[in-house]
Amino acid sequence: MDFKELEERVVSFRDARGWAEYHTPKNLAVSVAVELGELLEHFQWEDDAEILEAAKDPAKKEAIADEIADVIIYLALLSHELGIDLDEAVERKLMKNGEKYPVRT
């Protein structure tokens, strides 16, 4: 699935439930931050080895995946509300990063 298809699916899901009025750019940006906080709770006080070990547990891995998905869903909705094409934005940013951080040979 590309970002455009993801955007269409989450907007359709949202609109079917009548939530569009709550999905202002500010509210969506705040929601992204809230969901990132919930994601970070899974990593708080653990080092990388402990996190990787915990992620072997299917329930823990699913909980982390759910938080990542929430972040992506809110970002897709935010980009929709602002008229940002995520596919183009990511491609453009990768090009900028490639110029800023060229491969060293």
Q: The domain 3-100 is classified under which CATH number: 2.30.110.10, 2.60.40.10, 1.10.287.1080, 3.40.50.12280?
A: 1.10.287.1080
Q: Is the pLDDT of residue 35 over 80?
A: yes
> pTM of the full predicted structure?
0.91
Residue 19: band (very low, low, confident or very high) from pLDDT cuts 50, 70, 90? very high
Q: What is the 3-state secondary structure (H, E, C) of the chain?
A: CCHHHHHHHHHHHHHHCCCHHHCCHHHHHHHHHHHHHHHHHCCCCCCHHHHHHHCCCHHHHHHHHHHHHHHHHHHHHHHHHHCCCHHHHHHHHHHHHHHHCCCCC
Give the mean model confidence (pLDDT) for residues 93-99. Answer: 97
